[in-house]
Each structure stands twice: as C-alpha cells, then as structure tokens.
Amino acid sequence: MRRCCWRSDRLRPSTSARTRSAGGNTAWGGQSWSWRAARRSSPLVPVPLPSRSATSSSSDFFCRRIHCVDETHEPSRASWVESAQGATDFPIQNLPFGVFRRKEDGDETPGTVGIAIGRQILDVAAGHDEGRFEGLADRAAGACAAPSLNRLMALGRPHWIELRRQVSALLTADSPAYRANRRLGDRILVPMTEAELLLPAVIGDYTDFYASVHHATNVGSMFRPDNPLLPNYKWVPIGYHGRASSIVPSGSAVRRPRGQVKDAPAEAPGFGPSRSLDYEMELGCFVGPGNSLGEAVPLDQAEDHLFGLCLVNDWSARDVQSWEYQPLGPFLAKSFATTVSPWVVTFEALEPFRTAALARPPGDPAPLPYLSSERNAARGGVDVTVEVYLASAQMRLQGIPPQLLSRSRAADLYWTLAQMFTHHASNGCNLRPGDLFATGTISGMGKEARGCMLELTWRGAEPIVLPTGESRKFLEDGDEVIMAGLCERGGAAPIGFGECRGVVLSA
C-alpha cells in the first residue's frame, strides 16, 4: 500500500466546519472549511507569460498582455461586498452564473438566476427589477428571470459580455454610484447560507469526451499494455453520448449502482452492487447558442457557441464497465449519476487564463484541417487546476479534514474545448442552449495528477491509505468525494469554481 501523495494537513477545518451542509449527508459545509489559502500556497506548474514590467499600468495590462481582457479583469478591482475580498473563489473578477432559491421558500418554489460574489449571490432578476441595467445587459438580465440559464445562454456572447460589464460596475467599490449601489444590497443580494443551489440549466443532451492523453494511456496500459492507445485516438476527439436525466447538482447523494459483473474465474456474470465504484475528475462545458441541424461550425467560431465551464464528477462502476463496454462502450456503468458544480464560470472570466493548446510530441499527427487553426493552437487551452479530495465517514466523524488525492491541469488535455465542439457538430449534429459536454478524466504525467481511483490505485494494486488507517482501492459507502477548480496566474486575480461534491450511499 502507498500513502496518498498529498498530506491531509493542508486542509484546516474552521470552527464551523462540523455543520451539516444544505446538500445533506455530509459533515463538511460548502465553504465551512478554510482550505482556499492552503491550496493557493501550494506549488503550481508555472505557465510562461509575456513579460510585463512591474510598473506597467492597468491599461498596459489590458492592451498588451492578454487578448480580450477588459476592465472587469483588472486585478486591483475590488467590490463593496466584503466577502469578495481575500481568499475566495468568487472575487469580482469571476462573477459565475448559477441557479438558486431561498431555503425559506421551500422545494416547490422555482429557482432564479444568480451570480456568485464572495459568499453572496446577486439576484439578477431583482437587479433588473431595480432598473440597474440598460441595452443588451437589460435584455440579458431579463432572461435571468427564469429557473434555468438556458434563455441567457441562447442570447450569445455580446449579451453575456455586456451583462458582465454592468454587473461588475454595479458591484465595484470605486464606482461613482457606489453609495447608491451598496444601499441596494439587501434587495439584490442573498447570503449563500440562505440559498439552495440547483442545476444551472435544463440539460437536453450530454456528451462525454476522452480528451486526456495521459488518462487514455494509463488506462490503456492496464488493459492493453502492448497497445495503450488505439489508432484513432490522436486523430479524432473520442466521445460518447451520456445520460442527461441522471445529472445531479453538487451535494446530492449518489447510490451505489447495481449491474452485471463477471469476475475473472467465473464462467457467467452475476448481478449485484458494484464493488469498484470510482469518480472521474472532469470539466464540463455548457453550450450557448446552438447550431442548426445539418450545419457544421468552423473551429474559429466554436467558442461563440460556448457559455462557460463547471466541474464534473463522472461517477463510474469499473467492474460493470469492464464487462459491458465491448463493443459499443459504457452503458449502466456510467448512466446512474453524474454530478456537476452549481456555478458556471464564463469564458469571459477565463480570458486571463487562456493558454496555448497542448503541443503535440514529435511523431504525432497534425489535426485534420477542420480541427486545426492558428488561433486554436495559440490560445485554445484553458489553464484550470483541478483537485480531488476524499473524506471517509470515519474521517468526518473524527473531524479529520478531507484528504487531497490528486491535482491536475486542464491545459494538459490533448484536445481543446473548441475542437470537441467543432467535431461534435461536424456531421451536422445540432447542439442546443444548455447542452453539456465534458472533457473526460483530466490526468497529468505524474502519479499525483491521476484524475480517478482506477489510475491512482492502478486498478487496485496500489491502495491508498487514509489518515484513519483505512485503505481504499475504490470508493466505499459513506465516502465523500469533493472536487475543486482554481485558475491562478501572475498578474491576474485568481478565481475558482466552488465545489462539486457527493456522498456514496449503499446500494
């Protein structure tokens, strides 16, 4: 057995940590354990950036350093919302979208669109009712008076950009209308502790890709050591159609699935609970304006159709999967549950963290022309660091912080998000506002960057030992999986994704 590659003492629970979260079935509240500062002090892989003088002005930051960055990204910009200062996933430079309802309103009340700012939620429809927006932003805010983001997603990037700009101005501390805006606080802000977070969109269709070459190589090495990567992998973004009906919001418990399993010595399969339940750390991408049936989308236009990113846990029953996946791929091993984080970080917020697409090693084929462009090569990547934590039931009972299992980077994906979308639509398949596609497991080169337990334990051969002395080959009942995402880069304000969490229930 090997000890987990990251020390559990990096996480320090706050005095309020042992409170039940709104999602239930957990002793760790969504922001009740103060691990953000610890994560940011941990070393991250540096990304080369254009040189910038320490004395350069903010206008120099906008004009020369990062493409499409505007005043909403300025690192020095501060909000009058006090909780948006310091170590938070949701500073004023982020402004992610989600759907919420007040807990006091009850389960029968439909949600409405909100924007996260610190530990508060801006009720966009309430701001619209107060007459705080104009032009394209007014129309976009009007679309937020809905129980999902679908209407806003359908409007397109000019509306999203203008709404972001005017929301940022509304929340900025040095705005000329600062005093008037702050007086609105009680009418347009809702504390996160008083809100229930819902699915951000009505997800019509869900597609899962297989975009990490490191993950594909690791898994292939276990099952096909002489031929880890199949011949098509480096030519085509591999994907499969998932199940949209079983996508659940963060905090939802996930019941251990049942399915057919065939053990190696047995002549026939049996049916029962999966004994090899796993998580997969992924990023999800929500579609904005769709494309018409029969209409392809050129690569350099793909991002005009993409709204933003969230965290995804693609729960997987490995023993069921290994028996059923040939010849058509996974079915019951994946369709029982997929968890998504509640906040969607827009591509506008991610502009300072764009990076080049992964450079292909010598000998790898160049993408076919419809999957290739100078723009995609130069800035098709998104530098998001994703992390996975595990808290067993025993750890929570003893007040032990969740254990950091892995840390990997979306910049290491073999295929970019634009390539995935363009390939998806290349046969004329129509994608619609609110559709979701995910990257597949995000893994890196080292053991500490393996994005699922299948890789971390190498198919169970190298169990993980938790701080309680418990060992894990795969997930056990009562285990809580917590995923997080962070964008961090010199000269830009760091932003985060919040959490994607779920507790395993018995079958």
CA distances from 47 to 37, 88, 176, 283, 412 (A): 20, 22, 37, 20, 12
Place of tokens 């003893």: 398
Q: What angle do CA 93, 94, 97 make, to 5 degrees?
A: 145
- Name the residues annotated as catalytic: 215
Peptide bond connecting 327 to the previous residue in cis, omega within 30 degrees of 0:
yes
Note the Cα 202 to chain centre separation in Å: 17
Interatomic CA distance for residues 484 and 498, integer angstroms: 6
The token pair at 36 is: 């953000």
Question: What distance in Å separates the CA atoms of residue 125 and residue 145, rounded to the nearest whole number?
Answer: 5
- Of residues 505, 432, 499, the one with CA closest to residue 28: 499
Residue 68 to residue 46: CA distance in whole angstroms = 22
Instruction: Kindly write down the DSSP assignment for every residue of 428-488, as one continuous string.
Output: SPPP-TT-EEE------SSGGG--BHHHHTTTTTS-EE-TTS-EESS--TT-EEEEEEEE-
SS3 23: coil
CB 276 within 8 A of CB 319: yes
DSSP tag of 380: -
3-state SS, residue 246:
helix
